[in-house]
Structures are given as structure tokens and as C-alpha cells.
Amino acid sequence: MKVVKFGGSSLANGTQLEKVYNIVMAEPERKVVVVSAPGKRYSDDIKVTDLLILLGEKCLAEQDTTEEFNTIVNRYASIAEELNIPETVIEQIKNDLSSIMKQEKQDSVLFIEAMKAAGEDNNAKLVAAYFQSKGVEAHYVNPKDAGIFVTNEPGSAQVLPESYDLIYKLRDRSGILIVPGFFGYSKEGDVLTFSRSGSDITGSILANGVKADLYENFTDVDAVYTVNPSIVKNPKEIRELTYREMRELSYAGFSVFHDEALIPAFRAGIPVKVKNTNNPAAPGTKIVNTRENTNGPVVGIASDDGFCSIYIGKYLMNREVGFGRRLLQILEDFHLSYEHVPSGIDDITVILREDQLNEETKKAVIDRIKEELHADEVKIAHHLALIMVVGEGMRRSVGTTARAAKALAEAGINIDMINQGSSEVSMMFGVKEEDEKKAVQALYNEFFANVLVG
Amino acid sequence: MKVVKFGGSSLANGTQLEKVYNIVMAEPERKVVVVSAPGKRYSDDIKVTDLLILLGEKCLAEQDTTEEFNTIVNRYASIAEELNIPETVIEQIKNDLSSIMKQEKQDSVLFIEAMKAAGEDNNAKLVAAYFQSKGVEAHYVNPKDAGIFVTNEPGSAQVLPESYDLIYKLRDRSGILIVPGFFGYSKEGDVLTFSRSGSDITGSILANGVKADLYENFTDVDAVYTVNPSIVKNPKEIRELTYREMRELSYAGFSVFHDEALIPAFRAGIPVKVKNTNNPAAPGTKIVNTRENTNGPVVGIASDDGFCSIYIGKYLMNREVGFGRRLLQILEDFHLSYEHVPSGIDDITVILREDQLNEETKKAVIDRIKEELHADEVKIAHHLALIMVVGEGMRRSVGTTARAAKALAEAGINIDMINQGSSEVSMMFGVKEEDEKKAVQALYNEFFANVLVG
């Protein structure tokens, strides 16, 4: 049995839905189908989810909602029309939307949650109706009905462990099961959404629950690339990579697959395949537990910008027991999460995402560090980029660091920071944001330019 | 005005004392002379300080102390005899030692402190007597009389800030002032010793207090070397290095100059010169605030072994606010100090000195980490060595990391860890202990083999 997930761009119009239908029907093993909301049809198009949020906000403000309501319904209706899907499903979608709009609005957050989830929920109904119109046994399955129960955390709900046994029962259902992604239900019956790329999470949870042989994630790229194609033109594709490699890559700007979505599949040892709806014949990228095929120590390079560093210098710091712990306590008090804390003998530096700090917080944090830790010197450096070089092969390969450092040096890039030594499958370089693209290109040339990637 | 300090090997016998006399008399600026206890005369010789500890312990155990007492007195007497110093000073030393032995013993720690300090104290009396016998105006100055007041921390006393104003008054004294190193007095009048290389600390405090133009530290090597001579034969000498460079080098096995001893001189901006009593014509090594002369990015390489690492893996660790802080709290509860904490996305590693952990502590720490932090995996790696590559030039030099990593790779050494990014003047490599010497040699060859060091 396979769980198959389709992203928004795979469901943006009728032509796309036909592709989805053909893909699902091509293999009888493709039994559980997870769908996103309809994505953008062209670059300026508005996502259904964004329209729904707008609709929800107007409801809360008790403003006129006719326009938004009609725009949303028309997105589904135009697809239905294109594919000759019976009108009844559009009536159903209208009624569903109207009934959400009439819901209790005391808790505005929960109301918006329900609104947002309607994009995926109605699309699952539409897709099921389409399959049925083709004479195929297909059923819309609501997440509550599927057994997806989650914590009470709006926008970052976590699946409850008891869900998995309930989901396992889906195996006994007949026909193709079309499940909306992105959300689950609390024990109290409220709709709660997952974090971004939430449909990937739904697919992964279902794959775990039904003990699928494979979780296929259909998107609009042929594969996971060794590097961001917006930085390096026509980069090599990755055929196979491990969960750990994927997670390390996801961390720094690899948006193909959200790292959190991997966990349920990983826990159940279910391989994940990233494939292209628009080119299903392409081999795609398989994410597995262990891989044998290595053509080099590095499998991929990711990068992200928007980091800053707080440097703290104090004489004889390394003789002070508890210094690091007290520093981290101050960060915690400000709800700041950090990426890395390199430390010297008399100094320690905290690398963190800059968007967490406004001018006020910045000042408050520095003041507390100076006062409580009696630091001699505290200074902030801005506009840092972090580059992750990832590969299981690194732990066995002498000289990978040397190759990476040499490539950066030859490109004239100063390395502000290196973080190597905890993860066995990655190393992190900190460089100035202005050097980020040049650095990624240099590393790509070093590790991939003449290599077939496995 | 210069403060001049002589180490134990410079004062081990009469011949050495003559050299000391000649060095001090060569420059009228050399007014304050700090002396250690007499050092070893040959490799199997017992240090006076160790004899004093033995004597102190026998006193506490109320055992016969005749042998130790005589051996100690004879060390001074033989030097006095060699140099024709009047017998009276030996009588003075005997009386001093006897009176310490009769001191209050309720606080055995303080009793041993006083006993240990007698090695330096009596040597200062002997040296002063020797200078006087040569017709020179020289005075023994007791640390209390000099104004060295310290905290109540036996074996690691810290100078009290008010000392410096008292010490400044030494400038008004006539003649050469001979001050014993290694100890000061608490406000209560108890003798308390500094940490190891304590005479260096005394010299540095006095240099700060009298606002010396230079603090000369005479030992038995021509200079600070770029690398440990027991690892690399005839290494290059360092002519000039900064306080920061010296402190970073001291951290990992550079025993020429104890890092703590630098601080008082640094705070007052007083340059420090390391020179050889046995070859005073050699230029030595000067430690300064800033240096202009750089012949390469790296000034020295130091290394130390005996480290281990504790690896902690946990899925989605980087989403858990407070994880690092709670880990450091556990270490603090066990009074463990750590060197470095590299962290990945789902893992964090603590590097610490292995001698802090016995089997019992090791188990207890791991158990607490597993239980309290719900870690998926905790494992310890043993026998790590840390190598420090130090140089102010590194922050301006692109490619130093690449050169270091390449040198290690070409020597077939796997880098377990890199710590770069906090200190601007050093980077740290973690390697297996078995690779330590090979790694240091490889780095030396890379950075010094064809370079004149400034």
C-alpha cells in the first residue's frame, strides 16, 4: 500500500487534476491520497488558503463577504466545470463554507483555523467527486473519520500517539481514500492546523498509521536537488538520501520537504519518494533509512540567511562554572532560540535568527548580559548566512572539511564560523550574507561539478 | 622600572644565583625581583615545595620531622655555602621554619598553605642576603609588607583590588626589593597561595602595582616556541605575540607562562618579556597589547589531550527552547566544566576534560541526560585531543582554515570537531589522541616550515 500526497500546484486546475487521476490509477497500490488546497495557477494568483483567511477575517469584522465567498467557490467550480464533475459537489462546498462562516466566533483563533482548513477539506471532496465521476470507487475521508487527532496548538498542532492505531483501520476500507491534508481534530472536536507544508505532515502521519510500503510526495519538481536551483543553474538531482540528510538539508532553506513532515514516516521506517506530478516518469528522489550508493561524501548543500551573532567576551570566562548556562537562561527568558553557540576560552558567541530581535529586545538582551554576566564586551554582528554541507559519507571521509574550506578560500570568502563536530552528517559554515551565493556555488563546484550523484 | 621574576630552575644552586645577580645588576631599572623556591638541580631532585608539603603533613600527623626539616634547611645552606653568604640567614630560615611548624594546626589547609609558601619566602631572604653580601642595597620584602592582599581561596587565591595602591608605594623604597612569589595574605593575616606557577602571578601583580615599564620573566628557555619542542624538534621561536595569543596558547598545553598570570600585566598594559636566565643575551619573547610584525596568520600551535565528548541526539531538538540550558544545568550540578558545545540540528555534543569523570559520575550524568531531557541517544567518545591554532592575523586572512584542514587531511587525520567562530584569534581542532602529534607536526609544517616568525 502507498500513501500519495499532491501539493497545491498539482491541483491548481482541471489539467492538473487529470494528471493526478492518471498517477493514482497507474498503480493499484496507491490507495490513500492526501490533497492540498488548490495552488496558484499563475504567479500573481491568490492561494485559496489566503482567500479563506481574508474571508474569515471579514466574518470576524462582520463585513460583507460576498466577493471572497464567490471567488473561493468559483475556484472549485471552474475546476469542476473543466472536468465535468457533477454540480452537486459545488453545492456541498458552498454549504460547508456557509456553515463554517456561521460557526461560534468567540475564539477567533479557532475560527480562523477552521476557515484555513476548508481549502484542503473542500478540495478533497472535489477530488473524490472527480474520481467518482470517472466510475472509480473513491471516498472523501474527513481527518476525524481517518483518526487524525492532534494537540491544541493552532498552527503547529502535533499528532497524538493514539491516532496511529485508529488510522491503521483505514486499511480495511474499500476504494481509494481521499483525505484533506493540513489539519486534524482536537479531542474537543476543534479543527487545528499543522505548521507550514502541513499536507506533507498529514501524508507522513497516514503513511505511518497504515504502515504503507512507500509515501509518495508529488510536487512540481523532478527531484530534490543537490543545491538550490535559484543559486546554481541546473543542479544535479539527488537519487537517494537518508532521513537525517534530508532533515539537515531542510533546516537551511531546502523547502522541497518540510523537516517536521519526515518524522512520522521516519519513525515507522517508511521510505519517502519525492516525485513530479508534471513528469511522473522521472525517477524522483527517495528518502531512506540507510543508503549504500555514495558517489562522494556530500549529498547536498543548503543555505539560509537572516542570522546574526552576539559575541560576549570576558576574561577568565572558562574558569567560571555556569557562565554558558546563565547566558542561555537569559536567551530563554526572552524566548529566543539559537542555532549554535561556538565558544572560545574567554569568549562565547550565540548565532540566532535576526527576525527574533527588534531594537528593543536587542538592547534588553545586551543589557542583561552585561549586567548579570559582568561581560567585558558584548557586540552584535548582522547579516550572516549559514551554509550546511550535508552527507552521510562525511563521517568516513578524511579531507571533506579541507575541500570545503579550500573551495571557499579560493573563492575569496572569509569563513566567520565553522560548526563541525556534533552531527556526523553535516558541517555548517557561517559567512557574510553578501558572500552566500558565491559560497554555495563554490562548494557546489567542488563537490558536484564532476560527480554523478547517487 | 622593571619587575623581574626568576623561576625555580634559575635559583636551584649557587651558580644559578650568580647568573640571577648578574642579570639584575646589568640594568639599574631592575628594581623589583620576584623569586620562586629553589627548583630541581637534577631530574630526580625533589622540589623544596614538595619537601615542605611532606614536612607539613608529618607535623599534622605528629610524626618525627627531623629528616625533612634538615633536608630543607640544607638546600638553602648548600647554596649559602657555595656563595659565601653569611650563616645568619640560615639561622633565620631555621627559626622561620620552626615557628611555622609550631603554628595553630586546627585548620590543616591553612597550615599547609603557610608551609608551602615558606619555600619562596625563605628563598627571597637568601637571595636578599646574597645581594647584600655583594655590597648591594637589597631588601627582603614580605608580601604583606609589599601590599599583596588576596581572597580566602587556598591554592587559587585572587588578588584584592585594593592591593595595587599599596604596591605602588614600593616605588619609594630604596635599593633592590626581593619579594617571594606564589603567595599573599588574607585580610585576616593568613598565608594563601596562588594557583600553579604562582610566582608568575606575583610578578604580574607587582608589575601592575608599581606601573612597571616591563615585566621580565626569566625561565630556562630562550623564548616561547611556536609549538611544543617535545613534539616538533627545534621549533621556531616567537619574537612577539599579543596577550590574547599567549592566553589562547597557554590554554592547551603551553606551560611556559600560566595564562592567569598574564591578566594583571594585561590590565595595566605592561608588556611581558620571557627570557632565559642561562642565556640572557637571547632576545626572548615579548608579549604585548598589539603587534605589527606578522609573517603569517598563525603565531603558534598548542595541543592538549585527555578530553572526551558526550553526544546527545534527539529528534526535533532544535525546536525545544531551553534544551541546551537544561543540559548545561545538569553538567553544573555535577561541577563539570566543559570546553566547547558544538550543536547540530538534532544533536549537541559537550567536550570536556575526561579526568573530571569517574565511572560513577559518567553513569549518573548520562542517566540524568536521558531521563530529564528524554534524549534518544547519549554516547561518550574517549581519548580526544584538542589542538589550538593561534594568531591575530587569522581574522584578516582568508584561507587559514583551508590551509589547516588541508594539512591535516594530507596527513590522513580525521577532524572530529572544529571550533571556529567565537575567538577571532584562534581555531580549535578536535582529533583522536593517537593523531595528536602527527596533527601538530602537520600544522607546524604548513604554517612555519618556510616562514620567519615575527
Is there a domain that residue B335 lies in? yes
Angle between helices B48-60 and B66-82 in degrees, nearest 10:
150
State the Cα–Cα distance between residues A368 and B376, nearest whole angstrom: 34
Q: Which of B398, B410, B416 lies at the smallest CB-CB distance from A413?
A: B398
Q: Are residues A433 and A330 in the same domain?
A: yes
Q: Are residues A214 and A317 in the same domain?
A: no
* Predicted pLDDT at A157: 95
* Residue A255: Cβ within 10 Å count: 10
- Chain centroid, CA B123 distance in Å: 20
State the Cα–Cα distance between residues B95 and B89, nearest whole angstrom: 10
Give the minimum alpha-carbon distance from B182 to chain A in angstroms, rounded to a whole number: 19
Is there a domain that residue A227 lies in? no
Using alpha carbons, select from B307, B298, B308 the residue that is nearest to residue B388: B298
Q: Are residues B209 and B315 in the same domain?
A: no
Give the mean model confidence (pLDDT) for residues A349-376.
Answer: 92
Give B128's Cβ-side CA count (13 Å radius).
Answer: 26
* Digitized pLDDT (tens) for each residue of chain B, 454 residues in all: 999 999 999 999 999 999 999 999 999 999 999 999 999 888 888 889 999 999 999 999 999 999 999 999 999 999 999 999 999 999 999 999 999 999 989 999 999 999 999 999 999 999 999 999 999 999 999 999 999 999 999 999 999 999 999 999 999 999 999 999 999 999 999 999 998 779 999 999 999 999 999 999 999 889 999 998 889 998 999 999 998 888 888 776 666 677 778 889 989 999 999 999 999 999 999 999 888 766 678 999 999 999 999 999 887 787 777 888 999 999 999 999 888 888 877 889 999 999 999 999 999 999 999 999 999 889 999 999 999 999 988 877 778 888 999 999 999 998 888 888 767 788 889 999 999 999 999 999 999 986 554 4
Q: Are residues B308 and B183 in the same domain?
A: no
- Chain centroid, CA B296 distance in Å: 27
Has A181 been labeled as part of a binding site? no
A348: left (phi over 0), alpha (psi -120 to 50) or beta: beta
Give the minimum alpha-carbon distance from A443 to chain B in angstroms, rounded to a whole number: 13
Give the minimum alpha-carbon distance from B341 to chain A in angstroms, rounded to a whole number: 7
Q: What is the total count of domains within chain A?
A: 2
> Please, are residues B220 and B277 in contact by the beta-carbon 8 Å criterion?
yes
Edge-to-edge strand list for the sheet holding A347-353: A338-340, A347-353, A300-313, A377-390, A426-432, A417-420, B417-420, B426-432, B377-390, B300-313, B347-353, B338-340
Q: Are residues B99 and B194 in the same domain?
A: yes
Q: Which of A315, A421, A430 lies at the smallest CB-CB distance from B421?
A: A430
State the Cα–Cα distance between residues A212 and B401, nearest whole angstrom: 46
| Percentage above 70 pLDDT, chain A | 96
Q: Are residues A22 and A163 in the same domain?
A: yes
> What are A294-305's pLDDT values in tens digits?
667 899 999 999
Is there a domain that residue B12 lies in? yes
Give the mean model confidence (pLDDT) for residues A153-171.
Answer: 96
Q: Are residues A311 and A418 in the same domain?
A: yes
Please name the helix (run of DSSP H) or strand (run of DSSP E) that holds residue A301, with its range, or none.
strand A300-313
Domain boundary among B220, B255, B273: B220
Q: C-alpha cell of B451?
A: 616562514
State the Cα–Cα distance between residues A36 and A202, nearest whole angstrom: 10
Interface probe with B: pick from A422, A424, A427, most Cβ of B within 10 Å: A422
Residue of B nearest to A261 (CA): B316
Domain boundary among B204, B220, B236: B220
Q: Are residues A210 and A314 in the same domain?
A: no
* Predicted pLDDT at A116: 96
Q: Are residues A66 and A195 in the same domain?
A: yes
Has B5 been labeled as part of a binding site? yes
Which chain B residues are Cβ-neighbours of A346 within 8 angstroms? 247, 423
Is there a domain that residue B7 lies in? yes
* Domain, as residue range, for A142: 2-220
- Inter-chain CB proximity A329 and B325 less than 8 Å: yes
Has B169 been labeled as part of a binding site? no
Band of the pLDDT at A393, cuts 50, 70, 90? confident
Place of cell 612597571: B212
Residue type, A443: L
State the Cα–Cα distance between residues B189 and B203, nearest whole angstrom: 21
- Inter-chain CB proximity A402 and B402 less than 8 Å: yes
Using alpha carbons, select from B404, B454, B452, B196 the residue that is nearest to residue B301: B404
Instruction: Judge residue A195's burial from the number of C-beta atoms within 10 Å of its C-beta, 0-12 exposed, 13-18 middle, 19 or more buried.
Output: middle
* DSSP tag of A313: E
* Predicted pLDDT at A255: 61
Is there a domain that residue B60 lies in? yes
User: What three-state secondary structure class fits A304?
Assistant: strand
Give B96's Cβ-side CA count (13 Å radius).
Answer: 24
Q: Are residues A154 and A24 in the same domain?
A: yes
State the Cα–Cα distance between residues A308 and A380, nearest whole angstrom: 7
State the CATH number of the domain containing residue B205: 3.40.1160.10
Q: Are residues B38 and B186 in the same domain?
A: yes
- Inter-chain CB proximity A343 and B318 less than 8 Å: no
> Please, are residues B412 and B344 in contact by the beta-carbon 8 Å criterion?
no
Residue of B nearest to A404 (CA): B402
Q: Which of B259, B342, B409 lies at the smallest CB-CB distance from A398?
A: B409
State the CATH number of the domain containing residue A332: 3.30.2130.10
Domain boundary among A220, A254, A282: A220
- Chain centroid, CA A305 distance in Å: 17
* Predicted pLDDT at B392: 87
State the Cα–Cα distance between residues B391 and B244, nearest whole angstrom: 9
Using alpha carbons, select from A272, A299, A292 the residue that is nearest to residue A425: A299
Is there a domain that residue A102 lies in? yes
Which chain B residues are Cβ-neighbours of A329 within 8 angstroms? 325
Tell me the residue ranges of DSSP E strands in B170-329. 176-180, 183-185, 191-193, 214-219, 224-225, 237-238, 240-242, 272-276, 285-288, 300-313
Is there a domain that residue A60 lies in? yes
Instruction: Judge residue A156's burial from the number of C-beta atoms within 10 Å of its C-beta, 0-12 exposed, 13-18 middle, 19 or more buried.
Output: middle
Quote ipTM for the complex.
0.74
Q: Which of A315, A342, A410 lies at the smallest CB-CB distance from B421?
A: A342
> Please, are residues B73 and B93 in contact by the beta-carbon 8 Å criterion?
yes
State the Cα–Cα distance between residues A247 and A252, nearest whole angstrom: 9
Is there a domain that residue A288 lies in? no
CA distances from B48 to A254, B88, B115, B119, B122 (A): 66, 20, 11, 6, 11
DSSP assignment of B83-99 equals TT--THHHHHHHHHHHH
B452: left (phi over 0), alpha (psi -120 to 50) or beta: beta
DSSP assignment of A191-209 equals EEE-SSSHHHHHHHHHHHH
* Residue A29: Cβ within 10 Å count: 13
> Please, are residues B382 and A385 in contact by the beta-carbon 8 Å criterion?
no
DSSP assignment of A58-112 equals HHHTT---HHHHHHHHHHHHHHHHHTT--THHHHHHHHHHHHHHTS--SSHHHHH
Q: Are residues B186 and B316 in the same domain?
A: no
Kindly tell me if the per-residue pLDDT of A20 is higher than 90: yes
Give the mean model confidence (pLDDT) for residues A155-184.
Answer: 97
Give the mean model confidence (pLDDT) for residues A141-150.
Answer: 98
* Residue B381: Cβ within 10 Å count: 16
Interface probe with B: pick from A336, A401, A426, most Cβ of B within 10 Å: A401
Kindly tell me if the per-residue pLDDT of A453 is higher than 80: no
State the Cα–Cα distance between residues A213 and A272, nearest whole angstrom: 9
